[in-house]
Every structure is written in structure tokens, then in C-alpha cells.
Amino acid sequence: CMYISGVPGTGKTATVHEVMRCLQHATDMDEIAHFHFIEINGMKMTDPHQAYVQILQKLTGQKATADHAAALLEKRFSNPAPRKESTVLLVDELDLLWTRKQNVMYNLFDWPTRRHARLVVLTIANTMDLPERIMINRVASRLVAPLFADFCEDEAHQTLLLHTEVCWLSRGRVLARFVELKEKIEEFLQTRNRALSEQVTESFWIKTAYLADIFSLYNETNKRLQGVESNILQ
């Protein structure tokens, strides 16, 4: 799952659409496997549970009540099926799908974790801190990746949110933090992408550590130049 947030007008939806266009072009060129792309928008629903109805109809063409659609989707994403194609689901205006029990949000984030789901969920909202401020723990937990929780420095940023500026983590420290998490990153890649893991050699880590040292010095120099009448010689 990916949660994308930002103020209105920053191009969140347009960016996702462009990425999907490029991926669909790649499928036409037989560069990647074919996949379904479906999109729903919370602003176009009178009730959050209509999300189930729209997803099922766009995925299969089948019409059903909200409860029946939820049950059919649960079965589809839980059970194995021969030649099942992957599905990319874009949920725009996610914050409008909020309910008291938050069961709609929970299912949207829980289905991709199923072994046979073959489902990727992309969500977009204007609320920057939606997981921390609105979602209950069982829903927000579906957005937490252990690696990125370690990457973040404090409890206020235990989910990785896609912002135009990652203001809570100094750019000068990103590489240093990356090197510090060497073992966990290697473990993560071995379980998620074995081919990429084999490319992350010891030589790669040596070069990355070298760059981290250089940028750390740049960062320190920048700090020393800040302030009134400050210069690098002081």
C-alpha cells in the first residue's frame, strides 16, 4: 500500500495517472505483465460502503449490493486462482471513506497483505497526518513497514508518507541513516526482491558510506555558515 498526501493542487492524482500511463505503455510493449488498473473517488460516493460496489463492478463488471460486493472481493483477494492478473487500485479522496468502525479503510489496506491477493492499493488524500490523527491502530498498522519505521527518527513519523518535501528528516542525514540500517535493508531486500538484493554488494555499501561522509561534511559546513555575520573560519 502507498499513502500519498498533500495540499490540493499539488498534482498528486496527475502524478499517479502519469505513472499508470507509463506502466500501461510498458504492458503494451510486453515489457511487464498485464495488470488491471481501476480507480474510485470518495467524493463521488454518498456512502463509503459504495466503494465495494464500484471496485467489484470495475473489476468484474458484476453488480451487487455493498455487503455482497464486500464478500465477493474478500473471496477474490483471499483465494488462489489460475492466471490471476495483478490489480492496481487507486483510491482518491481516501479521507471521505472514513466510518466510525473504519472497516472500509481497513479492508482496503488489509486485502493487499493476503498471500493470493495480487493487489496494490494507492491512496490519495489531502490530510497529511491521516494515519496518525484519524485512523485507529488496526487500520494504521497496515501502512507501517518495519524498515521505514526504523528509518524515521521519532514516534511522530512511524509511517512513511509521500510528501513533496520530507521536512522531518534532514537531507544531509538520509545517506548516513541508510548506511546505519545496512543489515535491515539487506534483510528487507532478501525477502522482497532477491534480484535487487544480489546487486547490493559490499562495493555498493563502501561507495554509499563514502558519499554519506562527504554529504555529512557538506551539511556541517552549511550549518556553520548559518546565522548573522557567520563564516566558515569562525
> Does 20 reside within a domain?
yes
> Does 131 reside within a domain?
yes
Q: Of 122, 141, 168, which residue is a domain's last?
A: 168
What is the domain count for the chain?
Answer: 2
Are 112 and 146 in the same domain?
yes
> Does 230 reside within a domain?
no
> Does 157 reside within a domain?
yes
Are 155 and 190 in the same domain?
no
Domain containing residue 216: 172-224
> Does 187 reside within a domain?
yes
More confident residue, 101 or 200: 200
Q: For 87-127, write each residue's pLDDT tens digit.
A: 999 999 988 887 777 888 888 888 988 888 999 999 898 87
pTM value surpassing 0.85: no
Are 97 and 117 in the same domain?
yes
How much of the chain exceeds pLDDT 90, in percent? Answer: 26
Assess whether pLDDT exceeds 50 at residue 31: yes
Q: For 157-183, write each residue's pLDDT tens digit.
A: 444 444 434 444 455 567 787 888 888
CA proximity to 124, closest of 96, 93, 102, 99: 93
Are 219 and 203 in the same domain?
yes
Cα 204 from Cα 44, distance rounded (Å): 48
Residue 231: its pLDDT value, please?
59
Cα 202 from Cα 183, distance rounded (Å): 12
More confident residue, 98 or 144: 98
Are 91 and 46 in the same domain?
yes
Domain harbouring 46, CATH code: 3.40.50.300
Are 76 and 27 in the same domain?
yes
Are 143 and 195 in the same domain?
no
Are 161 and 212 in the same domain?
no
Assess whether pLDDT exceeds 60 at residue 184: yes
Cα 233 from Cα 195, distance rounded (Å): 48
Q: Is 116 helix (H, G, I), strand (E, B) or coil?
A: coil
Which of 14-28, 92-106, 122-136, 203-217 bottoms out in mean pLDDT, i.e. has the lowest?
122-136
Are 139 and 201 in the same domain?
no
Residue 172 exposure: Cα atoms within 13 Å on the Cβ side: 11
Are 161 and 100 in the same domain?
yes
Assess whether pLDDT exceeds 90 at residue 143: no
Are 214 and 128 in the same domain?
no
Residue 69: its pLDDT value, please?
96
Residue 168: its pLDDT value, please?
40
Are 154 and 199 in the same domain?
no
Which of 61-75, 149-163, 167-181, 187-201 bottoms out in mean pLDDT, i.e. has the lowest?
149-163
